[in-house]
Structure 1
Amino acid sequence: MTQSSGAQDVIRCGLCRTSMAQMQCDTCYVNLCKACVGDHMLSEDSMDHRVGRLKIRKSSPVYPCCKPHTNKTCEMYCQACDLPICTECVASGVHKDHRISQIIKILECCKQYIQEDNLELQTQITPLYQKMLKRMLQRMKEIEENCEEADKAINKHGEYWHEEVDKIVSRLKTELQRLKEGKLNNLKDQVSDIKHTIFRISSTVGFNNDILNSNNLERAIGYTAQNDEFRKGPVCNDVLVPTFKAKKYQQEKFAELFGSLSTVKSEVLRIPSPVLSLEVEKALMNKVEIITMIPTGIPFLQDIALQGTEKIWAHGKKDTVVKLFNIHESKKIKSFKVLSMISFYGYHSNGISVTKSGDLIYCCSLYNTVNTVVAERTNILISLQDWSPRGVCITSEGDMLISMTHKENPPKVVRYSGIVDKQTIQYDAEGKPLFLIDDCLYLAENKNKDICVSGKGKVVVVRDMGKVRFIYGGFYSSEDRNQPLSPLSRRRRWRFVHAGHYRSQAFNPKGVATDSHCHILIADSNNKCVHIIDQDGYFLRHIDCGMKEPWGLCIDSDDFLFVADSRQNSGEIDKIKYLK
């Protein structure tokens, strides 16, 4: 409730609630009518009430009514109870030893937060929606133009088909006319021969009748029969009648031959906003838990790759072998067994990964090859000639992403389907190189098909089509996540850090990994932690479990994080639970 009501916001008396206020107690900040001034002055409290004429100002605060004491207004605020309180509440002792502030100060804090919210709405959120609106309107225009072009293409193709059909019809008619003329001419010749034969037969019959009608013995004795010649009958070559046999067709097949409408896979237009990170952040644990620690005995441990949920490959910077460990036996550290060891060519292997069929893949920059290990036998999968492979990962569709460097050209990431390269990611929209020659170029594919590549002081995230989505350059804070927050501090907070004070050294990303929530996890060897950002590049928190130098990362199907903690003598692999 408020002390103002009515269409014109008339200020009412804070005691009787009916009469218009003409006076004001400067001690209690209560508005009073003249009839209630005396009662207020005689109220049972020890306060020295100073009543004067009401000064109506736009900035005059309107105090809330006290719920337990309805005849009182709340001039104070209890920080512990997160409630506005009146003087009687204070006198009752309920809020004894609680931190109490003047409510007018709380109002100032609230207005400050509201101003911050307005500033965010005006300067950050509104431009995002305006940008999205602009993109959608542009898409509508593109659809109109594309559909118009498609309509023209359909008409043009239809005209082409009509022309082709007309050509076929004309050709068939010409051929039919030729056949008709040839067949008819053949028949005309045979008809002419038959007519001539009939004439000869008729002449012979007339000659024979003349002999029969005469008594000339000489003609009768000299008669020679011609019936043998005519008895054979007429010889006629049958002529095939030309016909047109139309082929039967299915309408679907005919339409398929003509062509069909198709659409390019639609791209989800997202608004990369820190507001969206709050919901994603709820999936993260307040305090992470180390489930397993695997001592590998590998100096300068760098690369790890999971083989299912029970085994993990590990390789060090100066190690000539890659080792396969059983994860579940880590509880018995002394009985750890190396299941397999595959020799590498010297100290020049940079990245390892595992195919969907469980085969190990590793990069060998000494010979510029990407190799696969099947049944403990090494086979060269891809030879890169002048390019040196640095990192490798297998995508959800079974493709292979390989990062590689060159002595003269900027580094690049190439997508392979089998041994055929399908896509190259090397430059941004302005033609500038995305990566530097000394970038570590660790790779990971996110659940949304984005490709994440770690570089020097940055992580570049591109869409599966190769367009840059964002570049993450690190975020540090000395806030303590476990520090209690005042009631007014329980506001939207998009970025916070897991417990700990960070030295804020230069961001030095190494391994990258992604989980089922599309989080992107980045090992930061300088600051001895793992960054967690959302799919739009907004920082969520750090993971700091006392790691010495986190390097390689991988995440299993149950969203457990595995961190290769690189150490000079013997690196270890930490299995960490960080999601609820």
Structure 2
Amino acid sequence: MDICETLENIKETIAQDLNELEKFIFPKYQKSEDIIKSQKADQCKNSKKLTADMKNQKEALLKEIDAFIQSKQIEIDVMDSKHQIALDKQEDAINHTLTEIKQVIQDLKSLLDTSDDSIVLNYKSRIEKFRKVPSKFRVTLPKFLPYQTNRDQLLQQFGSLTALSIETEEQGDSVLFLADSVSPPGRPMLDFPRLITDIPTIGNGSITHVSCLTDEEIWIIGNDEILNLYNMQGDVLRSVQTKSGNRPEGIAVTRSGDLLYADYDDRSINLVSGTQVESLITLQGWKPRGLCSTSSGDLLVIMDSEDVKQTKVVRYTDSKEKQTIDLDDKARAVVVVNAAGKLRFRYTGFPSIPQKFYPFGITTDSQANILIADFDDNCIHIIDQNGKLLHYMYRCRLQVPWGLCVDSKDNLLVAEWVTGKVKKIKYYK
């Protein structure tokens, strides 16, 4: 590896660290700081409520309980002091770390702009110490539990205060980027995914979906009514026109190697077998948008209602409806299928990737990891089944990635909307 390539790789690492700090880690610490402020406000509000509750109860009792009220007030003051100290300590720690992160961000920006290669070569990443998002308190605030007034048992019936509980709760959405530290055992990811080949396509250039027939042959659809089968050299092996003449909305390859496509305007799901195109399913009141053929042979269909106000996922077995999942019309649903063909879906994105992120293409690999095309940021997010981010694939010069699929060797194929190319990328070691 020559010095230029070494410098490029180091600068890629610097850029990745900077991006992670600015887009992911720093906002997490800011969020933790907001939580502390909110907890302080709740603590103050709850303390005032406790005092008010006891004063109301006091008005209903005899003067003899004044001393008892004072003793209970002391208990509140002690708990308030303990709570305040704990929150102040946590806030000070977060503010200290935020200051450090700001300095590291500034240093990284300076490194990216420097012309002194020796400084860049000596760069050592300090980002690991910030990846662990600070713990947050799980606080059980005390409550006042009044009793009905009873002269004979005044002290017992006045009430009691629950104890203040402050526990440290680990946040489950630590920001993790480097695949070699979190990948499933036996299949680590490459630190830097490698572009194997660019597959050019014909037609109007814009392509939206890609699906593997074999490791050497892929189906793609673009902005017209033609479905094309390509080899890895970019040669068209076969072309099929949709039955209705409409542009297909989604494609999938069955276990037997036949092609399925969704005709949104025609409300149909069609099977391409040999030279024949057959309408497999015709919907009433719904329009098919996305397809997935599972390893068990079932077909999953994402569909919209006629007024586009409702979305649901329907599972078909032998063209018969077997399962329906209605999705909230206010939620953004992402639907994927793992290796066993089990339906998985989430609302409003995933916990450890940006809230502004909007997925276009999506697929899964043999490790049950989920790969999602980020149309706006020209990158691929790789997350596990629980939504934890494993890798952020921004290399390979992706340009508006849309459709995704993986071959039998877990190589990723990415359909680019702008260039009309399919990029084949190796991301596992």
Question: What's the TM-score once normalised by structure 2's chain length?
Answer: 0.56
Query: For the residues of structure 1 that align with 2:310 and 2:267, how far apart are their CA atoms?
Result: 16
Task: Count how many residue pairs are aligned between Structure 1 and Structure 2.
Answer: 267
Displacement, 1:553? 0.1
Provide the residue aligned with 1:542 in structure 2.
Answer: 392
Indicate the residue corresponding to 1:414 in structure 2.
314
Alpha-carbon distance between aligned partners in 2 of 1:321 and 1:371, rounded to the nearest angstrom: 14
Q: Which residue pairs with 2:427 in the alignment?
A: 578
3-state SS in 2 of match to 1:557: coil
Q: Is the partner of 2:182 in helix, strand or coil?
A: helix
Per chain length, whose mean CA-contact separation is higher, i.e. which structure has more relative contact order (CA < 8 Å, sep 6+)? 2
C-alpha offsets along residues 193-249 of structure 1, whole Å, 9 cap, x if unaligned? Answer: xxxxxxxxxxxxxxxxxxxxxxxxxxxxxxxxxxxxxxxxxxxxxxxxxxxxxxxxx
Distance 1:421 1:289, change over 3 A: same
Cα deviation, 1:268-309, whole Å, max 9, x if unaligned, reads: xxxx9889x943267211011011110012421101110021
Equivalent of residue 315 in structure 1, options 221, 232, 236: 221
2:410 maps to: 559
Structure 2 residue 210 is the aligned partner of structure 1 residue 301 = no
Cα distance change, pair 370–540 in 1 and its aligned pair in 2 (3 A)? same
Question: What amino acid sits opposite 1:578 in the alignment?
Answer: Y
1:527 aligns with 2:377: yes
Determine if contact 1:284/1:579 at 8 Å carries over to the other structure: yes
In 1, Cα distance between the equivalents of 2:267 and 2:301? 12
Inter-CA distance 397–448: structure 2 relative to 1 (3 Å threshold): closer
Sort the Cα spacing of 1:311 and 1:386 in 2 relative to 1 into closer, same or farther, 3 A.
Answer: same
Instruction: Note if 1:351 corresponds to 2:229.
Output: no
Distance 2:317 2:134 in 1: 50
Q: Which residue of 2 aligns with 1:425?
A: 325
Larger gyration radius, structure 1 or structure 2: 1
For residue 445 of structure 1, the aligned residue among 315, 337, 361 is: 337
Q: Cα deviations across residues 462-511 of structure 1 (Å, max 9, x unaligned)?
A: xxxxxx7x8416735xxxxxxxxxxxxxxxxxxxxxxxxxxxx9422101
Q: Does 1:392 find its partner at 2:291?
A: yes
Q: 1:118 to 1:382 in 2, by over 3 A?
A: closer
- Cα distance in 2 for partners of 1:547, 1:561 equals 12
On the 8 A contact 1:565/1:573 being kept in 2, the answer is yes
After superposition, residues 115-130 of structure 1 pair within 5 angstroms as 116=134, 122-124=168-170
Equivalent-residue separation in structure 2 for 1:289 and 1:113 (angstroms): 25
| C-alpha distance in 1 between matches for 2:135 and 2:340 | 30
In structure 1, C-alpha distance between the alignment counterparts of 2:373 and 2:267, rounded to whole Å: 26
Residue 339 of structure 1 corresponds to 237
Residues 383 and 547 (structure 1 numbering): CA distance in 2 closer, same or farther, change over 3 Å? same
| CA distance in 1: counterparts of 2:190 and 2:314, whole angstroms | 36
Paired AA for residue 323 in structure 2? Q
Partner of 2:14: none
- Give the distance between the partners of 1:114 and 1:434, measured in 2 at CA: 32
2: CA distance, partners of 1:382 / 1:347: 16
Cα distance change, pair 471–506 in 1 and its aligned pair in 2 (3 A): closer
Query: Structure 1: how far apart are the matches of 2:254 and 2:379?
Result: 28
User: Could you say which residue in structure 2 is the equivalent of 1:26?
Assistant: none
Give the C-alpha shift of residue 337 in structure 1: 2.3
1:447: Cα distance to partner? 2.5
- Deviation track 1:49-104 (CA, whole Å, cap 9, x = no partner) reads xxxxxxxxxxxxxxxxxxxxxxxxxxxxxxxxxxxxxxxxxxxxxxxxxx9xxxxx
Q: Residue by residue, what CA displacement relative to the aligned partner does 1:150-176 show, whole Å, maximum 9, x if unpaired?
A: xxxxxxxxxxxxxxxxxxxxxxxxxxx
Q: Hey, what does 1:374 align to over in structure 2?
A: 273
1:404 and 2:303 are equivalent in the alignment: yes
| Mapped partners of 2:209, 2:216: distance in 1 | 17
Q: CA deviation at 1:448?
A: 5.6
Kindly state the Cα deviation for residue 118 of structure 1 after the two structures are TM-superposed.
9.5
Look up the match of 2:149: none
Given residue 263 of structure 2, which amino acid in structure 1 is its aligned partner?
A: C
SS at match of 2:183: helix
What does the per-residue CA deviation read over 1:356-383, in whole Å, with 9 as the maximum and x for residues that have no partner?
Answer: 0000000011210000011111000000
Q: Is the 8 A contact 1:528 1:550 kept in 2?
A: yes
Contact 2:302–2:313 (CA<8 Å) still a contact in 1? yes
Q: Distance in 2 between matches of 1:508 and 1:284?
A: 24
Q: Distance in 1 between matches of 2:268 and 2:397?
A: 36
Q: Distance in 2 between matches of 1:391 and 1:364?
A: 10
1:280 to 183, 186, 190: 183
Q: How is 1:22-33 mapped onto 2 (pairs within 5 angstroms)?
A: none
Tell me, yes or no, if the aligned pair for 1:390 and 1:402 is still in contact at 8 Å: yes
- Can you give the 5+ residue segments of structure 1 that lack an aligned partner in the other structure? 1-98, 100-108, 129-271, 331-335, 453-459, 462-467, 477-504
Alignment match, 1:102 = none
Q: CA 1:550–1:473 in 2, change beyond 3 Å: closer, same or farther?
A: farther
- Compute the displacement of 1:404 (Å): 0.6
Contact kept, 8 Å, 1:426 with 1:435, in 2: the verdict is no
CA distance in 2, matches of 1:511, 1:366: 20
Measured in 2, the distance between the counterparts of 1:114 and 1:313 equals: 42
Alpha-carbon distance between aligned partners in 2 of 1:471 and 1:523, rounded to the nearest angstrom = 13
Matching residue's letter, 1:386:
G
Alignment-derived partner of residue 147 in structure 2? none
Larger strand proportion of the pair: 2
Equivalent in the alignment of 1:472: 350
Q: In the alignment, does 2:422 pair up with 1:516?
A: no
Provide the C-alpha distance between the structure 2 equivalents of 1:472 and 1:348, rounded to a whole number of angstroms: 30
Query: 3-state DSSP class of the match of 1:280?
Result: coil
Q: State whether residues 426 and 434 of structure 1, in contact with CA within 8 Å, keep that contact through their aligned partners in structure 2.
A: no
Structure 2 CA distance for aligned equivalents of residues 113 and 474 of structure 1: 12
C-alpha root-mean-square deviation of aligned residues, in Å? Answer: 3.4
Structure 2: where are the runs of 5+ without partners?
1-121, 123-127, 139-166
Change over 3 Å in CA distance of 1:553–1:350 after alignment to 2: same
Amino acid at match of 2:213: Q
Distance in 1 (alpha carbons) for counterparts of 2:405 and 2:206: 17
Q: Deviations over 1:9-60 (max 9, x none)?
A: xxxxxxxxxxxxxxxxxxxxxxxxxxxxxxxxxxxxxxxxxxxxxxxxxxxx
- Secondary structure at 2:366 match in 1: coil
Give 1:407 deviation, angstroms.
2.4
Question: Is contact 1:410–1:435 with CA below 8 Å preserved after alignment?
Answer: no
SS in 1 for 2:391: strand
